Amino acid sequence: MDLVEFQGKQLFGRNGVPVPPPGTVCRTVEEIVAAAEEHLANGASAVVVKAQVKTGGRGKAGGVKLATSVDEARQHGESILGLDIKGHTVQVVYVEPASDIAEEYYLSVMHDRVNKGHLVICSREGGVDIEEVNRTDPDAVVKRSLTPAETVDGLPLDTARDIVTQARLPAEVVEAAAELLVRLFAAYRHEDATLAEINPLIRRPDDVVLALDAKVSLDGNAAFRHDGYTEWQIDGLEADDPLEAEAKAKGIQYVKLDGSVGVLGNGAGLVMATLDVVAQNGGAAANFLDVGGGASADAMAESLGLVLSDPDVRSVFINIFGGITRGEEVAAGIIEATKRLGEFPQKLVVRLDGTNAEEGRQMLLRADLDSVIAAATMQEAAAAAVALAEES
């Protein structure tokens, strides 16, 4: 689950990571005006009006603006509310007392899947696209891979100091930045984040170091340890992926992917093998979906409905291996599901194997469904599904 900036700052703040003074969450121009009035009256020399959407590069898109008067804040509010930033419509705006910036750095902690540990990235060049800095000036980006063993009691201050020194942060801020990194790592660990990124990490003219921006992703698999992350679900913020949210509500194991072949199977291992065989046939799966052991008519209808409602899906590959669930039950599920769903443009390629597979196939044949194509093997089914996705 991705947090928006102000939530990331809240999470940082309660874990001791320095952030700017608290701002105000607004949904209307009137609220923005009132918030600016209040912060300016309380001594802020300026406020910054910031779009709260789950994507980066808001500044470049006109979603981050400074205002030194209430009138200016109103104008910014009018232009930012409703603004489209890379397909995300701004419904929530954060009005924060502006910070004075002397320098901008980059700092992040994330899961390092390749090394089965954590990765800390630090750079003197912040406030800009870090990928770009990494391409043009790789020496300016320090990447430190850490094992779970060496961080079992948190990130040692010595290691943090070493990282920020190597990134050539100025001597005056090394200690503050190192301490901030230790706290950032603790926050990331304690809150079960997969990513905690600060871009920019700023040095104020008075040498105070703080997180001016926050990008935090929380591990969905750890939601049960945090009351389902309900504290972060607020009005006006988009779900990460609407289909994933719907699947979760229905208890279906679903992950959205980039391709055009919808995939539905029983058992996570079989579904993963299905993604591979689709790729080997030159296609790309539009999703991962495990209907689970039962593959009942209900589960099949819910799952199939979900996959078919994805506009990227051009064909569907249903790959079922009957075990305790017999072939006839699976076939009944597919027939029932197609009846419930009514008309849909995509073809379903079905591969049924395992217990009573032959009986199941016969049932599908007898049902004579226009949308269903039976395939004898996994390979044949994958080839057919990929070809159909390419044609349509």
Catalytic residue among 197, 244, 302, 329, which?
197
- Give the residue with the Cβ less far from ligand GDP, 59 or 292: 59
Q: Does 108 bind Mn ion (CB under 5 A)?
A: no
Q: Which does 98 bind (CB under 5 to 8 A by kind): Mn ion, ligand GDP, none?
A: ligand GDP
- Give the residue with the Cβ less far from Mn ion, 39 or 215: 215
How far is Cα 196 from Cα 184, in angstroms, rounded to an integer? Answer: 7
- Enter the DSSP assignment of 357: H
How far is Cα 74 from Cα 95, in angstroms, rounded to an integer? Answer: 11
Q: What is the CA radius of gyration of the chain?
A: 26
Q: Does 103 bind Mn ion (CB under 5 A)?
A: no
Segment lying near ligand GDP (by CB under 6 A), choices 98-106, 186-194, 233-241, 372-380: 98-106
CB of 98 to ligand GDP, least distance (A): 4
Residues 6+ apart with CB under 8 A from 78: 29
Q: Which of residues 21-80 bind ligand GDP (CB under 6 A)?
A: 48, 56-59, 64, 66
Q: Which of residues 186-205 bind Mn ion (CB under 5 A)?
A: 199
Q: Give the CA distances from residue 189 to residues 4, 11, 115, 276, in Å, rounded to whole numbers and listed in that order.
A: 19, 12, 17, 33
How far is Cα 143 from Cα 172, in angstroms, rounded to an integer? Answer: 22
- Give the residue with the Cβ less far from ligand GDP, 198 or 330: 198
CB of 270 to Mn ion, least distance (A): 41
- Give the residue with the Cβ less far from Mn ion, 216 or 286: 216
- Give the residue with the Cβ less far from ligand GDP, 42 or 230: 42
For 32-69, letters b (16+ CB in 10 Å) and e give bbbbbbebbeeebebbbbbbbbbbbebeebebbbebee
| Window 280-299: contact mask with ligand GDP (x via CB under 6 A) | --------------------
How far is Cα 89 from Cα 328, in angstroms, rounded to an integer? Answer: 47
Segment lying near ligand GDP (by CB under 6 A), choices 95-103, 148-156, 190-198, 236-244: 95-103
Q: Give the CA distances from residue 92 to residues 78, 84, 88, in Å, rounded to whole numbers and listed in that order.
A: 12, 12, 11
CB of 130 to ligand GDP, least distance (A): 10
List of long-range contacts for 57-63, beta carbons under 8 Å, 24+ apart: 57/85, 57/86, 57/129, 58/85, 61/85, 61/86, 63/90
- Give the residue with the Cβ less far from ligand GDP, 98 or 275: 98
Q: Does 127 bind ligand GDP (CB under 6 A)?
A: yes
How far is Cα 164 from Cα 161, in angstroms, rounded to an integer? Answer: 5
- Give the residue with the Cβ less far from ligand GDP, 55 or 253: 55
Q: Which helix (H) or strand (E) holds 63?
A: none
Contact with ligand GDP (CB under 6 A): which of 99, 134, 165, 253?
Answer: 99
CB of 31 to ligand GDP, least distance (A): 19
Q: Which of residues 207-266 bind Mn ion (CB under 5 A)?
A: 213
Helix (H, G, I), strand (E, B) or coil at 193: strand
CB of 192 to Mn ion, least distance (A): 23
Judge whether 197 counts as a catalytic residue: yes
Neighbours of 266 (CB within 10 A): 26
Q: What is the dihedral of CA 152, 232, 86, 99, to 10 degrees?
A: -80
Catalytic residue among 94, 106, 188, 254, which?
106
How far is Cα 238 from Cα 15, in angstroms, rounded to an integer? Answer: 25
Interface contacts to Mn ion, rule CB under 5 A? 199, 213
Active site members: 106, 197
The residues binding ligand GDP (CB under 6 A) are 48, 56-59, 64, 66, 98-99, 101, 104, 127, 199-200, 212-213
